[in-house]
Structure 1
Amino acid sequence: MENSLVGRQAELAVLRAALDRSARGPVVVAISGDPGIGKTRLLGELGADGSRRGCLVLAGRAAEFEREVPFGTVKNALADHVGSWSEALDDADVRLLGTVFPGLVRPDDTAGPPLLPGERYRVHRAVRALLEAMASDSGLVLILDDLHWSDEGSLELLDHLLRHPPRGGVLVALAYRPRQVEARLGRAVAAAVQRGLATVVTVGPFSRAEADALLPAGLSPSRLRQLYEASAGNPFHLELLARGPDDGEAALPAALAGEFSGLDRLHRRILYAAAVAGDDVDVGLLAAVADLPLSDVLPALDDLTGRDLIRPYGTGGAFRFRHPLLRSAAYQQAGAGWRLAAHARAARELGRRGAPVADRATHVQASAPVGDLAAVRLLQAAAMDAMRITPAAAAHWLQAALRLLPGEPGTVDTRLELLNLRAQALGITGRLAESRELFGQILAMLPSGTEPRVAVVSFLTMVQHLLGEHGEARALVLREMQQWPDHGSAAAAGALRVAQALTTLMSGPAEDTAVEAAIGTARETGSRALLAAALGVGVVASQAFGRPGGQARAWLDEAAELIDAMPDQEVAQRLDTALFLGWGELYLERYPAALRHLQRALHVARATGQSHLIGSLQTIEAVAHCATGDLPRALSALDDAMESVVLTGGRDAYPRVLGYQCWARVWTGDVDEALTLGEQAVALARGRSVQDWQSAVAEGMLGWARYAAGDPDGCSEVMLEAGRGPDLPAVRPLWQPRWFEVLTAAAAAAGDRRRAADLAARAARLPAIAGRPRRAGMIAMAQVHAGLHVDPQAAAGHAVRAAALFTRAGDRLGTAQALFYSAVAHREIGDPDEAARAVVAARLKLAGCGARPHWLARATGIALDDEAPARRDDPAKTYGITVRESDVLALLAESLTAAAIARRLGISAGTVHKHLAALYRKLGTGDRLATVLRARALGLVAADGEG
């Protein structure tokens, strides 16, 4: 029966088609089905087919009782092959792989940045590079079975690979039970299916004919029927039941237990020991766990393999059960007391061998008694080993250690340490709500007025901010301040004041009194780091909420002077100090200084193992790169920030990072991707229960993407709704100039010159702020958009001024955009030489930024390069018809209704009607038929009979 596959021809056809496609690029196939349904057998057929085609085939599987071994599933597949492929990788990837595969010979570990838990996506990228190298010769088939039991580290890696598949001929085949698989993997597979990367094969029960073909010949019709009904068509259950007696009662549990019924005590003991020891157990470990001499174990193994209960696996003398269900049955049958002693023997033997601490921890947690402090220390060591690459495993080991820790007064400090580590591990792995609860428990154990308590409060408020619970964070800090004792630490009191100022900033608008109190209290403490943090929060608050006065510049100068005088060790004590400084410098348009301080903070974070701010630092660094036009670095930093957000679950940061990715993609010319990112950002921002002062970021980015996509009405719709009207009262003053510029451009593109003039006038009334040339450049660009076709002479002056302002700010993209419009205006006023000079300068700026804004070429009629001149005779441009309006017009000419057009374009019927109204206005028509006839006469759509 083993060598002849029964049925499954449709499933095999899907797998072979996936193998065919993998010759052209990455493919994922997921096999989903109940226990015993035949998933593993199908994977075996796929592997054999891959081998026949010359592919490298690697296979691994998760194990039910070893779910906390970091990257256990992946190591099971790749560990024996990593070394032979490491020469194809760069040193940085080899160093990172060494954190997962300890046996790998690594280059000098000091040569690259240390790995932070929040940056464990770097390990995922290194594994992806390894898979690409393995596939480079003749293709790779990577088979991972039983993923419903997989460790968290392997699941995180698979999530990454499904979002960023390896390049080249890589087929990743996954198998799992649908009702037991982690939701994370299920969502990742579903998203990969939507993108066309993955195919799901759902394996169901055999038909009656297939079941009969699987069973031994000679069985009576009644026995065949009985077996089929009892097994429900499950192949493993069929075979198991068929092995049992024909007693008329085909019961699966009895059949499973019957697999061991003919074994004597010795053979049972060895089988139980194999179940405890784990998958791929070697003979020496098996003998130690069974507490039997090797001379007894070896012949018994021959008998057990002859009965097909266990099978040799690989070439290293390892054994595994024929099926995981058999291992589970043997483990349960062994008895709780026997298992406890067996796990203890396994832990001792692995300790004697010097095995990895995670392998020993699996058995220690299953056998150590409460009060075993040596076991507590070992579990803590396992947690610290796992923290960087699989913090979820670290959280598990720390919970096990806490369970073993006795409740004695002398262990309070150890309990606090373990709780604190576990709270951090949970936070890093994205289980923020659990982390918050643990920090609450820690607070209850700490006395008021102490620095350790304030440190926990600071961490807890950070977690609450990541969860979007800004009001709760503020209430916590205020409660701590109200309960502050007279004898409390001055430094701790200052830290609380800074935390209070930050909570008012996040919930917005910031309270001036809280900011000033924080700065004043910080000065009294004499702590440079605390004072710099308070000053930085003050700068961010004053700029975000449009506070008057030049106080912010003085605060920022003082904070920068303090930070620059501090050694890294001092900065490390309050890493958020550098974050606030860089944030404030970004707001005050001091981009080189912001990048310098943010990059220093990232260096200090990695050197000191501080992961909690890494995503925020990367996001602000990316925004600074965006503002200066360094798109490659901006996108790289945003990719890093997004991976950090995905791993840590910071739902408050998710829409923000998506929004900035949308912004960057508009400039690279990937407008469709920008629209997708913007839509995702808005959906997430609107889905939050609490809207903070940063919520409008997503709508602003989506609006600009819609404008770039040729949908100015859609742009105006989303931005005016989010801004709550043309005065934009819901938009922070910091962002209003940018919003007015985009809205003015959208109104002008839609042909609504009156609205464009009104929006430009509102922009011009914004207060001028000294030292903010980029802000002034955006206001000037609003005047350009409004006046380009009304008063080109004035528009030319505004465009030249905008270009000069953006240049002074260091914004190369803004400069290029202003120069393009300057060229248009100078052409309009009859100055072709100045127009030509502006175009040459603009093209050089865009090339240096890595930008390809096709929308800008379309809006101005100026090509991005000499080889692709823009068409000047485009009738759509002549009449101000946008790309989206052209789409609507083309479908209108096909006699589609507004509802049908909406379905075809993926927009609302209301938006279609707005486009129709704009078309009527621009073409001077009043109904659908007149509009189509007019469009045909002008060449906007093909005439009847034309293709």
Structure 2
Amino acid sequence: MVADFYRILDSSSRGEFLGRRAELTALDAVLERRPAEARLVAVTGPAGAGKTRLVAQWLEEVRTRGCTVAAGSAEHPASMTPSEVLTSSLDHCLRHAPESVFDGLGAEELSWLAGLFPVLRQRWTARWPSDPAEISHVFGLARALLVRLARERSLVLFCDDMHWADPVSLEFLRFLFLDPPKAAIVIVLGYRPAQAGPGLTELVERVVRYGAAIRIELGPLTEDQTAGLLPAGADRLTRRLLHHDSAGNPGVAQELARAHGPRPELGHHPHGDELRSGIPHFVVPPVPEMRRLSPAALLALCAAAVCGDPFDLTMVAFVAQVTGAEAQTVLDELAAEHLVLPAADGGLRLRDPVVRAAAYHAAAPGWRQSAHTRAALLLRLAGAAPARQACHLEHTAIAGDTAGARVLTAAARDTVFTAPARALRWLEVAARLRQAEPDPADVLTRATALALDGRPAEARTLLVGLRRQRAALPEELRAATAEWLARTERWLGLTAEADETAHGEPAAGAEPGLWSEQLAVAVDSGTAWARRPGTGAPVDALPAEPAHRARCLSLLAASAWLGGQRGTAEGRARRAAELVDGLDDAALTGGLETLRWLGSTEAALGRREEAERHLLRGHRLVGLHGQRVLQRGFAVALAELCLSHHDLEGAGRYAEEAEQCAAYGPVAATAAGRPTEDPQSPLKLLSQREEQIAQLVSQGRTNQQIARELGLSHKTVETYLGRTFKKLGISARAQVALLVGRAG
């Protein structure tokens, strides 16, 4: 029987069970054989980790094996009654228990049990013990009652949310496991370790030490496990970002996925800093802990959500308009509820993006607007970075606020490589405030953001217009405009135009950015770079700045490989790798293509481990920072790497991602496109007709189109394609296209 179990389940969590298979197996092991004595199982993890969902799945399965299943949960301490966990867990079992369970018990004993279990008060008068000796006697009766319930069938009892457990329930569990009864009883405790009191922690540790308990800790899900919880329409980039933003927490991942709809646009949902300090673009119901907060604590939580992560006591007090002492008191309450946690770099943060969204939208719009105004004022007085101020100015600034426009523009410049979509929004707000023609430097920032955001054609239009004004531009801005125009033309596949732009400035040979673009145009078109007479910098005059030097060395290594100079390519790739590996992620965000050129060259040189490390690093960073224009290049490079080592499944995944990114930029013909140490093509396994059909599949033809072109039936084409999949060990048309492209 199930004891009102779904009363403690969120109905939306009941669906196909995915992930946590290892943990489910560990639970199964407890009941592999009928337990000879009572066992305790502690299932622990943070809020949203899936403790309830995991145990619910297990209880559904063990119920079919004939076990008696009972469940209940603790309530918040403020609303708790004595022995609440124990009584709520056993309520249904005792309500329907046969009379034989109570045989041999006297009236006084039944009265004591009725005092402990309210459901029995319908039969007997309740009596609560008045001294410790009587309490021990009542616990002994309850222990005997559990043994009777487990007499014929194993009894599995689930007590959820034990971090809020009442003292009486904890004391009973301590009593029970001082001398575990010789009966088939399994008691499962679900709780959050960070909120568990010392009594619960000590109890579990002691029983584990005695060998009568096991502990199952729910850590973060893997990326693949998280993907299984998300809508089928979500692309790989979106799945990866949702995994990152949820930190592998299934509850948070599912809420974020629901917020972004069944098929969000590729990688174009709010993530990263936007979730932590920007506009929460989704609304969720208040999390359960919010409903129990005092009015003052709820106000402080809303203020913290407006402030964004990280925040501190002073900021919350100022935004909420309370004293420092009052803010400290309510922050302690929020910390006790585990809604506010210490931030990694100091200060405080909200537990997760779901809590922030719930608190942000719980505040009235008018109050929220005023709160942003107060936050912006405090940050300006404190001399905070423009990006911190911009998070609030975009909500509050009004037309004519030129000072606010300057802050927003500076913030956009600071974040154009780490959050180009956000930088674009801030530039748009700044333009409305300024009500004047934008400064040429702002136009360049906007074009940079557009290009990185996957809109290079729009960026090129702006840059062409800006370049027409080059006579009036400072030399540095003129060179930067030419560099970014050449780059966007390269990303658009306009190789001749990009080459001409990169060589067209008088300072092209002395300007590192333009010179590296000359190299990039050649490498991405699959040819070795050749310096034009009178242009281009000498190879031994590389820029001193490490990130730019690494960029140039990576390009020179790729160019050397394309020119057949293996030894030179190896030397330059090693030097570039030493520089790249010594740089943190922040130093590379302005030139993430370095990692693609370097990784592709290393792959061509047969250095798989280094290639994989650099390509995966770039792939991760372009996703996290929303540089969508580069996503396809990394996906193709990784697909090529997988394919060269016969990992067709991995190649297919990245090929699918490359197809999804097709709108944001062409595939570059990098060094990895040249033959590696193993030139054998899997296509040689195919018959002439199978290879012919594979070629047509790679061109995007449907089965019906192929049938018409070859004069075959639709069924025959399907048969040939099935044989092709089987011979090549693949399962998707994208993988066929990749293999054909690889074979040339």
- Give the TM-score normalised by structure 1: 0.39
Q: Larger relative CO (CA 8 A, sep 6+): 1 or 2?
A: 2
- Give the TM-score normalised by structure 2: 0.48
